[in-house]
Structure 1
Amino acid sequence: MSSKALPAGRQARVSVIMSVYNGMPFLKDAVESILNQTYENFEFIIVDDASTDDTWQYLKSLKDRRVRLLKNKNNLGLASSLNVALRQAQGDYVARMDADDISLPKRFEKQIEFLLKNPSIDLCGTWADLIDENGKIIGEKKFPKRHLAIIRALLLLSPIIHPTFFAKSEVFKELKGYNPRFEYAEDYEFLLRAKEKFRFENITQKLFQWRLWDERRSRAQMEKIDQADFKVKWTAFERGYFGKSYLIIVFLKFLVTFVTPYFIKKAIAKKVKLA
């Protein structure tokens, strides 16, 4: 789609990909937020990653013809499950969604409109309100808008909210999806690979509600995320993405990951609402 427009009269189709593992009780709100989008020409590919709660029973109860269900025999993790969905995707665009968040009704409408008006941009995200377990807004997340600012921010973090990814399908095809070696930071590593060829931008509207809840701040979860983030930064250094001076940032991340006490990391994460 970067080289040619859609045939006249054909509306672009979106493949929405979502993986879920034990998604209750937030799953229903997440699914309904997609089915209630004002832009209606999409397929919704949901991969149940071997859930042990009532997730599969709920998914099977859905009657919307746009929903396509897949079920893993074993728990594969987010990156591998998203790749399962990507292999089935048939849309002109691919949109991400997570099973505990909420997409506001005009999210897809605004994102597809943005990419059609800005053909040089290959992937866009949006800003978000942060919500707690009860759906109460507790903050907001605004990442840089322009491509070059996003590239600079990639030195430190993933500056596009992963479940707001909305991209031309060839972005995922050419990169062969996510790398399962970087589970818990698969979006960060994906953007680092993508920056070599594709252009990004964030829409400066809050079109998403990103849920921060206690499980995301648990010691086990934060340690996994920190270690994955360190692994991505070390790999970025090895690949030469940011030059030799990037080793300083890698070393600082090593200290944060393996030396800083958990209670300090949790306090900082809550303060800046990164977790």
Structure 2
Amino acid sequence: MKTISFIIPVYNQEKQIKKVFETLHNARGRLSRAVTFSEIIFVDDGSEDHTFARISDTARDYPKMITTIISYKKTRGLKKAVALGKKASNANWNIVLNSDLSDLEEKLEKIAARVRRERKKPKKPLVSVVMPVYNAEKYIDAAIQSIMNQTYKNFELIIVDDQSTDKSLKIIKSYKRRYRTKIKIIRSAKNLNRGGDMCANLGIEVARGKYIARMDADDIAAPGRLATQVEFLERNPRVFLVGSNAYVINEKGKVVGEKIEPSKPADIYKSYATFHPIIHPSTMLRRIYHGKRFAYQIEYSANNDYYTFFKLICRGYIFVNLKEKLLFYRIHDKNDTFVKTKEKFLNTVKIRLLMVEKYNYKLNVRDVITSIVQAALILVLPESAIKYLYLVTKGIIQPKKITIPFFGRTISISSV
């Protein structure tokens, strides 16, 4: 469904405003069913009469016609007025009309012709981008903007706020005002405090897309991310989930490393024996697969993405990681990965053993030894050291000598 905005530059036309509203109100019924009327945008180009007041007063008589007024004191000319109107629009199509609507019939016919052309084009599948948010005021602006800047335009952005106490919700609402038809806001009834997956399920419940794209509120999507992943899934109907590699950025957005994961399904399957080979916020998956609607299975206080994906891959679902870096993955102290670090890493070992027991996942001797060493390190090392070792072993940062507290003493860990 396409949305349409009528942009009307006006200058000293207070007497014509009522007729303009009446005419456009009647014209709405003549629009194709494939087009939804979004708004009228009046750009008052420095009128010296009461044009602005007349627009404002008349708009109250037509509450179902969303009206935006842009006004400034000095005349800037038609070209500038049109540009400002288009900038303010959230619609798919912007139709610029003469102030007396003398070109309305011509423009309506052009809309109808455009609809006919659009119907002949192959339809691109809708993508539901689901973004859980909790106290992300420092980064959420860049995260949302990266989705709105996607080259692939057939998407909806579902933002689930988990009772943020900072300015996150205010920022989200400012984007909602700009992109009314693109953004949907959900707010949890209470703080779920179970990681982003439970919040993501709230978004997935209302998602309409063929595909679900996960996005975190502190990361940045590359402009071609959605387009690349949709194209891949359309060409590979047996693949359930596609992820990608990522650039690693710091709090200031500077690239400080890379996150590279195995790309082939067999390698991803094997890698689950020792680590999580999927960059979660880079994933896109099929909302409905083999007749079943996807949802995260919430069994743990954390690691539910690891549990859900591991379980699916054990059941034969095919996962692929693209070699392209389609995400800028942000590392900072409040990363979900580094909250309750010990608990999360211990959960990965527990989940691994559960998959061996219930789904006959095969561990070789090396995998068993690795799991034992991982569990031992998690139990004895402080969280700062666990975080460091994780970043080094994943290749996110280069090894270096660090000093950490350990059972009341100070020890050093060096690169090897």
Q: TM (normalized to structure 2)? A: 0.60
Q: Give the aligned length.
A: 269
User: What CA distance in whole angstroms lies between the structure 1 residues aligned with 2:363 and 2:277?
Assistant: 22
The 5-angstrom pairing of residues 1-275 of structure 1 reads 9-62=122-175, 63-64=178-179, 65-76=181-192, 77=194, 78-171=196-289, 174=292, 176-195=294-313, 196-216=315-335, 221-243=340-362, 248-272=369-393, 273=395
The answer to which of 220-229 and 210-219 deviates more is 210-219
User: What CA distance in whole angstroms lies between the structure 2 residues aligned with 1:204 and 1:219?
Assistant: 25
SS in 2 for 1:148: helix
Instruction: Flag as ranges the 4+ runs of structure 1 deviating above 6 A.
Output: none
State the one-letter code of the partner of 1:40. K
SS in 2 for 1:234: helix
- Identity score, percent: 30
Structure 2 residue runs of 5 or longer lacking an equivalent are 1-119, 398-416
RMSD: 2.4
State the one-letter code of the partner of 2:274. L
State the one-letter code of the partner of 2:343. K
**Offset at 1:231?**
3.0
**Offset at 1:112?**
0.7
The answer to which of 207-216 and 254-263 deviates more is 254-263
1:169–1:15: structure 2 CA closer, same or farther, 3 Å change rule? Answer: same
| Structure index of larger Rg | 2
State the one-letter code of the partner of 2:224. K
1:215–1:244: structure 2 CA closer, same or farther, 3 Å change rule? Answer: closer
* 1:127–1:204 CA contact under 8 A, matched in 2: yes
Q: TM (normalized to structure 1)? A: 0.89
* 1:50–1:74 CA contact under 8 A, matched in 2: yes
* 2:128–2:156 CA contact under 8 A, matched in 1: yes
SS in 2 for 1:60: helix
What's the CA shift string for 1:70-114, capped at 9, x where partnerless? Answer: 001211131211111111011111100000000010000111111
Higher relative contact order (CA 8 A, sep 6+): 1
What's the CA shift string for 1:140-198, capped at 9, x where partnerless? Answer: 01111110011011111221100011111124973651122234312211211211132
User: What CA distance in whole angstroms lies between the structure 2 residues aligned with 1:185 and 1:172?
Assistant: 25
State the one-letter code of the partner of 2:330. R
Structure 1 residue runs of 5 or longer lacking an equivalent are 1-6
Structure number with the higher strand fraction is 2
